[in-house]
Homo-oligomer: A and B are copies of this chain.
Amino acid sequence: MSKSKLVVTPVQACSAAPLVRRALTEQHAGELASAFKALSDPVRLRLLSSIASREGQEACVCDLSTGIDLTQPTISHHLKVLREAGLLVSERRASWVYYRVVPEALQRLSEVLLVESGAGVDA
Copies in the complex: 2
* Residues of chain B with a CB closer than 8 A to A56's CB: 120
Complexed CA–CA distance, A44 and B29 (Å): 9
Complexed CA–CA distance, A37 and B65 (Å): 24
Known: A110-B110, A110-B114. A119 touches B19 (CB 8 A): no
* Residues of chain B with a CB closer than 8 A to A110's CB: 110-115
Known: A36-B36, A123-B54. A46 touches B23 (CB 8 A): yes
Q: List residues of chain A with CB under 8 Å of any chain B CB.
A: 19-24, 26, 29-30, 32-34, 36-37, 39-46, 48-50, 52-57, 101, 103, 106-107, 109-115, 119-123
30 A–B pairs (Cβ distance < 8 Å), ordered by A? A19-B45, A19-B52, A19-B53, A20-B49, A20-B53, A20-B101, A20-B103, A20-B106, A21-B53, A22-B49, A26-B46, A29-B43, A29-B45, A29-B46, A30-B42, A33-B39, A33-B41, A34-B40, A36-B36, A36-B40, A36-B45, A37-B37, A40-B40, A52-B119, A53-B120, A53-B122, A55-B120, A56-B120, A107-B115, A110-B110
